[in-house]
Each structure stands twice: as structure tokens, then as C-alpha cells.
Structure 1
């Protein structure tokens, strides 16, 4: 018997939830290809390790950028491999619920659902990531009260105000944690004349990156290739320097949240002061982001218990109660 599946198709990571089992797969959204033969060499964590370390004919690509499909064929192949890895075959065709950014276009919707069907799904439904995140965080979204969720992903940042099972206000920007990594790469190249890769930038962000001054800040030693000489070089970065370097993408995220809060009807705005705002997604783990948002919005902002898994857990709850919760699907709520 086919197991229904929920897929959080993220720019940074893809998670799969199987009905009755929970999360069965969590891999980076990366696929490695031989450009000469178009052969798939690796997917997920194995492909992620290849970024910046391969010969010219082997390319490690992210088929999704800023929450949008940039390569339909590679995305289809990645979904096919994901489904195969969790046991889907031609005799076992599940129903699939896929979490997508709320700002997705009609063309992108068709691309995602078609990719899932071609990969082996008998039925493919879409659900907005902020809605799934709210369900996964255990918020009472069907009650007449304000539930505000900020979902900071790899390629998008979405803020949704939810009440009575629907989205009352929504702000989405195609800026996420990858843009923070890119800002770090640009800063080090401009200020020190050193080139670093995506993985190094991510390590810097995790180690000393922050959106707000925090106690016990440390410095980090960064190794890269000097552009002038081509030789390895080491520099020391401070947390304050990195905070200034990433100010532009962080400010964009904060402004998006402020715009959504400003759209809240008066009664729901009162609820927000009492209930607070909930922060989910991998990008929400940036140090001090909750403090920065609390200061800017004057509303308590708190990180949920499982920020990385909230979206797929919410979609998982939908497939566990498929018929009862099918009103949550994007097409059903249009």
C-alpha cells in the first residue's frame, strides 16, 4: 500500500515526511551532474560536499533558487530520486503534499505538481510554507485569533498572519539565508581581496553571524584564496564586522515583517501583543534575530521548538488527516 508523503521542497534543504512514520529524509537540495553525459552522480548531502570541489565537467547545482524552480528537468530528477529513496516505485504511487513559497507563480505551481506526478506521485497538492509551519508549530489556526508566523528559508522570507484557517495578511520577499551567505562572500572579497566558497560563508554565519549584538561575541579565523596572488591567506573577522556585512538582507527581512504587522486588523493586532509572533525556518537560527524583531515590532518574537522541521511536520499533519484538512491546500482555498 502506498504511503502518503509530505515534502518540504526548500531552497536549502528538502525534508520528506511519510504518513505513519514521521520524517524519513532530510537532505540538502543539491544534485551533482556530469555535464558531459547529463548523468546524475549524487544527490543531497553527498552532492553538497562537492560544491566548489569538483572538476569543471562535474557541476553541483541547486535546482531551486529564491524559492523558485530554476531548472525544471533537474528538479524533476531530484524529486524522482527523493521518492525512490523513500521507497516509491511504479507499484507504489503515493499521494504527495508539497510545501512551496506563498509567492509562487502559476507557472511554478504547475512545474512543481507536474514534476511530482512524473516522478511517481498519483496526486500532488500544494500548501503554503507559512501555513504548514503554523500547523507544525501547533498553533490554533482554525480559531478566530491571530497566529503570525515568520518563515526564514534559504531563498525566501515569508510572514503570514493566519486566523480562522486562512491567511489574513502576507508579506514575502525573495531574500533568505543564502543572501546572508552571499553578503559575507562579497564583504570578504571587497575588504580583504580574498575569495571564499559557499560552505565557508555558511560556517562564518553560524559561528559569528548575528542580527543583534549578543553577549560573549567571538572572532573567527577565515581561510581563503587571495585574488591578487592566488595563494591561500587567513584573516580574522569580528562578529560586529559580519553583522554590518549582512545588514542589507537582514534589514529586508525585518522590513517585510513590519509591513505584515502593519496590515493586521486592530482586533488581531491586540492578539499579537498577547500571543507574540513565531519564528520558523533554518534562517531563523541566526543569532539575535528574535531579539532584533522583538525590538523592531514591539511584539514578543519567539523561536519555535523545531524551527527546521516545522514546515514538513505541518504538512505531515495534513496527510495524516488528508480528507479533514484538504481545505488547507492552495487550490482549495483560492
Structure 2
């Protein structure tokens, strides 16, 4: 399984793509003026068709080691995606060399990847916290009963940490440093019983010079708590719209967290405290959506049941 960020390094003088994925991520914040590290996906949907096509093309080449192979591709999309946005996703993947494209709702794929039997007449609540969006869905009998997409996700939290470091500690850091802070010392609540310290490097606003400092878990409670409270409220709002019988099922089965954001320490406790419902983190939350998409491609009966749009053939 390939697991790489959707980042493209582009030479703006020649419009040449220099790198994608992990190689491009290494360049973030370290490029000269004529090279940019761009994110062609914004809030879970395509913002740059050409660069998205190039990412998909290069990753397919990396996976199959051949441009001759024209694979079937499952594209997982946010629950609230528009028709125009879904068409753009299909067109970009087809232009990259796909033979057939299927659209699958991200929370459906996440539930499958978390080994939830979504075809049964039972309600399950899945919260998939990605980089650009968080998708929240009540699922039963292979479909969404209630759902919501919010822009509070991993990238939002990274940006909040950058702003917090600037305001409170007068230190300018980049998004990569913010992500490292989140991963190494981030925690939602003191009740999680976690405390750690790590070093961060940046530029002092006061002197303009490079500076390093120690950051504790406690130093990041404020930005993390603000963002995660917003997410917990969104989960609460979906539950308020859930039919009573399915709500009863969710009480029995609990809430499932998937996506990279599910790895944030204490998030399960925070959501549980807001909803009064047990919360579980998937065994491999980062892989759930990709695993679920693969299950859809491998099972035609399942594909017919859960595909979000009509099959697109090209």
C-alpha cells in the first residue's frame, strides 16, 4: 500500500513538476522562490486539476511500474461533495490513466476498513478525520442515513498550532513543525494522562533570529481543545438528527474514529464526554479509507451496494 501526502513540488519558471508525495513533502518550507510545494486538494476536493492528475499518474506508475496498465480506481470523496466536485475527481483520475472510476463515500470506505459490517440493518456512527475534512456519518444497510462534512481536520489543527506558537511564544514555525508537535506532544485533554516534551525550532518574532525552545503537552492544550471541541459539536449535531432506533444501536456499538486525526491522544475521551457514548479508535485508523476502497474494488456485489455514483467507464 502506498501512503503518501498529496503534495506536488513545481518549478514555476518552467511549470515542471519536480516531485510528488513524500519527495515533495521533504521540500515544504525549504524551496527557493521559483519552486513551490503545492497541495492540489483543498478541503478534501480538487482545487488544481492538472496537479492532481500528475499526482495520480505518478503514484499509479510507482504502484504498477508501468504506464500500460489501466487500472480500475476507487476514489473516496467527502460526504458533502457536490456534483461538480465529483466530476472533477473522476476527470482527473481518468486523465491520469484509469480505465474505470468509482466514487465511494469516505465514511463508507472508512467503516469497511474498520471491519464494520455496514450491510446489516444496524446503525453505526463513523467519524473519519482526514487532512482536509472530517466526515461524520450514521451508516446502516450499506448507506448513509445522516452525514456531515466539516473542515475541522488535521490541516486545520496544524494551522491553529502555527498561530498559537506565534501569538503565545513569539515563534514562527512551519506546518511541518506544527505537525511534528501535534504528533509528538499533542493531546486533547489532561484526563488522558499523557505528558511529554519536545524541541521545536523556528524564527523569533522579537529578534528575527533562529531560535529553539522546549514545548510541553500542556502548552498545546489551547489550540487543540478549540479545534477538537468544534469536531465534537459536529458529532453531537449528527446524533441529534439520527432516528431513534439507529441512535439506540450507536449506544450499543459506540462511535468509531478513523483517519489520521484519530491518533490524537485523548480524542476518544473528548468525544465520549460530549456525547455520553463509548468511543473506539480503529486498529489502523490511517489505513481505513484506503483499505475500504480496496475491499469495494475486490467485491463487485459490495461495489454495487456502496458506490456513491453511477459507474464511470472511459
TM-score range, shorter chain: over 0.9
* From 162, 172, 183, the counterpart of 1:206: 183
- Relative to 1, partners in 2 of residues 1:286 and 1:110: Cα closer, same or farther, differing over 3 Å? same
Residue of structure 2 in register with 1:228 after alignment: 206
Residue of structure 2 in register with 1:62 after alignment: 39
* From 108, 114, 117, the counterpart of 2:94: 117
Alpha-carbon shift at residue 216 of structure 1 (Å): 4.1
> What TM-score results when the alignment is normalised by the length of structure 2?
0.95
Alpha-carbon shift at residue 89 of structure 1 (Å): 4.9
CA contact (8 A) 1:88 1:94 kept: no
Q: List aligned pairs for 1:1-334, cutoff 5 A.
A: 23=1, 25-87=2-64, 89=66, 91-213=68-190, 214-332=192-310
Taking only aligned residues, the RMSD between alpha carbons, in angstroms, comes to 1.6
User: C-alpha offsets along residues 261-280 of structure 1, whole Å, 9 cap, x if unaligned?
Assistant: 11111111111111111110
CA contact (8 A) 1:276 1:299 kept: yes
Unpaired runs of 5+ residues, structure 2, are none
User: C-alpha offsets along residues 27-78 of structure 1, whole Å, 9 cap, x if unaligned?
Assistant: 1111111111111111111110100011111111111121121211111111
State the alpha-carbon separation in 1 of the partners of residues 17 and 265 from structure 2: 36
SS in 2 for 1:236: strand
Alpha-carbon shift at residue 332 of structure 1 (Å): 4.4
SS in 1 for 2:109: helix
Between 1:298-307 and 1:90-99, the stretch displaced more is 90-99
Unpaired runs of 5+ residues, structure 1, are 1-22
SS in 2 for 1:151: strand
CA contact (8 A) 1:88 1:120 kept: no
- Relative to 1, partners in 2 of residues 1:89 and 1:234: Cα closer, same or farther, differing over 3 Å? closer
State the alpha-carbon separation in 2 of the partners of residues 183 and 169 from structure 1: 29
User: C-alpha offsets along residues 305-329 of structure 1, whole Å, 9 cap, x if unaligned?
Assistant: 1101111111111111125522211
> What TM-score results when the alignment is normalised by the length of structure 1?
0.89
User: C-alpha offsets along residues 101-148 of structure 1, whole Å, 9 cap, x if unaligned?
Assistant: 111121111111001111111111110110001111111111111111
